[in-house]
Amino acid sequence: MKILLTIVGVILVWAGATFASPPENSLRPAMRPATGGVIEMAALASQTLGDIRPVMRRDPPAVEPPALEVGAAVTPSRGDSPISDAGFRDWIASFAAHARARGISQATLTRAFDGVEVNERVIERDRNQAEFSRTLWDYLDSATSPARIANGRDALAEWRTTLAEIERDYGVEAEIVTAIWGLESAYGSFRGDVPIIEAMATLAYEGRRQAFFETQLMAALEIIEAGDISPGNMRGSWAGAMGHTQFMPTSFTEHAVDHNGDGRRDIWGDYPGDALASTARYLSENGWTFGQPWGLEVVLPDGFDFAQSGELIREDAAHWNAMGVRLVDGGEVPEHGPSSILLPGGHTGVALVIYENFQVIETYNPADAYVIGVGHLADRIAGGPAFRGGWPRADRALTNDERFELQRRLTAAGFSTERIDGIVGPLTIQAVREYQAAEGLVPDGYASVDLLRRLR
């Protein structure tokens, strides 16, 4: 089960944690729910600093996760009926009948829906998701800022015993778990304060993604039924992401664990152990390999064949070493299984060799910026160096409209992107690479404003 993500605004909710320097905002770059995705935990997560879809690695699936009844909503669609309090109460009554049929007690339903009203602010946020665009390097400036690194080291030191236990139990390095914690909630400082039951019920009733939010609402009721949290304390982002590492309700029901043995899987409270262990379990169950890097910075030789770059090309270390690829310190690329050369900023930016653990982090969030942010923050928390390569900082990110235009123009020029969805994933990158080769440009697959201008 994967978790969907969406690009929205930033929720700033101070939760009382203390750090060596002021904590920074959650930095989850995320995909819109309609575009497919990753752990539902962040499926629509609102804690992000902008749209980073231009640097996504994967063209997402065209469908959302299964809903309660093979992808169908369990309550009748409102159609074009206006949103009203009376209509909402009727909808809740209908949904409650389905919940009872799935084993949710009337006592839980009464507690969960007591005082719940249509949350107009949640609907507004969902309908007016931010269209901000940020470059990868701007994102990394925040994701791996000195303050975030220092706070991460402090958090790792404070919770070292707990994180060591989690590392032992699930085989996921403590620094990786800490880095996810840092990007999802600024080490627990921005966990969200929106009532989850009200938000999920509102979005399901509103109907734009009815089946998805009904699935999340049912899972939230199951969590309450199990006694893990009370309805009043089940809070998070407007889109449903909860706790220190921002699990969606469906991800909680599948992956959450009770690390401290108190009988509750509490990802919301000041104690972060349950949330961190749940995150490690998620990564472990999605194939994490202990001791394997997520990625390493490399230097490409003169004359490198850029057709060999990109996630679609996977080779062993001997292949890259024979081509003259070297680590930034001059050493050979180590053997850690199949790997790819990634050029997230084009041939003038940082070059990375990425391993299968990159794809595992990607299941948590499919955007390159997020994966690189988690991996690099983890490395810096562990005492590693900053990237040595540069970035094309004079470039700006393509806007949402420009990404659609890029795909249309590439396809019209005979370099089909196979879908026009505004997401620059592998299919679009391959089309860019083919166009660049045909035009005598460096075929690095980098979708830039200059490339769009040339297509025009």
pLDDT in tens, the chain (456 residues): 333 333 333 332 223 333 333 346 666 554 323 322 233 333 333 333 333 322 333 333 322 333 344 346 777 766 666 788 899 999 999 999 999 999 999 999 999 999 999 999 999 998 876 555 789 999 999 999 999 999 999 999 999 999 999 999 999 999 999 999 999 999 999 999 999 999 999 999 998 889 999 999 999 999 999 999 999 999 999 999 999 999 999 999 999 999 999 999 999 999 999 999 999 999 999 999 999 999 999 999 999 999 999 888 999 999 999 999 999 999 999 999 999 999 999 999 999 999 999 999 999 988 889 999 999 999 999 999 999 999 999 999 999 899 999 999 999 999 999 999 888 888 899 899 999 999 999 999 999 999 999 999
Which residue, of 290, 308, 330, is where some domain finishes? 290
Same-domain check for residues 197 and 224: yes
Is residue 394 a part of any domain in this protein? no
Question: Are 24 and 38 members of one domain?
Answer: yes
In a shared domain, residues 140 and 211: yes
Residues 149 and 217 in one domain: yes
Question: What is the spatial distance between Cα 120 and Cα 114, in angstroms, rounded to a whole number?
Answer: 18
CB 151 within 8 A of CB 70: no
- What is the domain count for the chain? 3
Do 40 and 168 lie in one domain? The reply is yes
Same-domain status, 286 and 299: no
Judgement on whether residues 195 and 273 belong to the same structural domain of the protein: yes
Identify whether 395 is part of a domain.
no
For residues 282 and 255, membership in a common domain is answered with yes
Determine, yes or no, domain membership for 28: yes
> Are the C-beta atoms of residues 43 and 2 closer than 8 Å to each other?
no
- pTM for the complete prediction? 0.83
- Residue 247 near residue 241 (C-beta atoms within 8 A): yes
On whether both 1 and 50 belong to a single domain, the answer is: yes
Q: How far is residue 91's CA from residue 94's CA, in Å, rounded to a whole number?
A: 5
Assigned domain for 431 exists: yes
CA distances from 151 to 145, 179, 236 (A): 10, 10, 22
Domain boundary, last residue among 246, 274, 290: 290
Q: Are residues 232 and 84 in the same domain?
A: yes
388 is a domain residue:
no
Using the 3D structure, point to which of 381, 409, 439 is the last residue of a domain. Answer: 381
* CA pseudo-torsion sign 363, 266, 174, 255: negative
Helix-helix angle 85-101:210-225, to 10 degrees: 60
DSSP 37: B
Torsion angle defined by CA atoms of residues 73, 77, 78 and 79, in that order, rounded to the nearest 10 degrees? 130
Instruction: Find the domain containing 117 and state its range.
Output: 1-290
Domain identity same for 193 and 341: no
Residue 132 maps to a domain: yes
In a domain, 149, yes or no: yes
**Are residue 194 and residue 278 in the same domain, yes or no?**
yes
| 313: helix, strand or coil | coil
- State the DSSP string of 183-248: HHHTTTT----EEHHHHHHHHHHH-TTHHHHHHHHHHHHHHHHTTSS-GGG-EE-TTS-BTTTTB-
d(CA 392, CA 128): 30
